[in-house]
């Protein structure tokens, strides 16, 4: 199993264990969550420091 596939399965397993959301939507929610995390990891720091680093 590839890395992304394993991460998606882990997210869905977590949603299953927590009994969060409708069972039929958990896979799609896992894909969306992974995509958001991946996007932030790739682009989140390129914009420069955030407001909290100006103290």
Name the residue ranges covered by the structural domains of the chain. 3-43
**Where residue 50 falls among pLDDT bands split at 50, 70, 90?**
low
Tens-place pLDDT, residues 20-47: 999 999 999 999 999 999 999 888 766 5
pLDDT of residue 3: 86
In SS3 terms, 4-52 reads as HHHHHHHHHHHHHHHCCCCHHHHHHHHHHHHHHHHHHHHHCCCCCCCHH
Identify which has the larger pLDDT, 1 or 54.
1
């Amino acid at each position: 199993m590839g890395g992304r596939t394993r991460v998606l399965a882990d997210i869905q397993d977590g949603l299953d264990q927590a009994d969060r959301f409708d069972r039929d939507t958990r896979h799609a929610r896992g894909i969306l969550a992974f995509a958001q995390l991946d996007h932030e990891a790739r682009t989140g720091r390129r914009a420069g420091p955030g407001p909290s680093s100006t103290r």
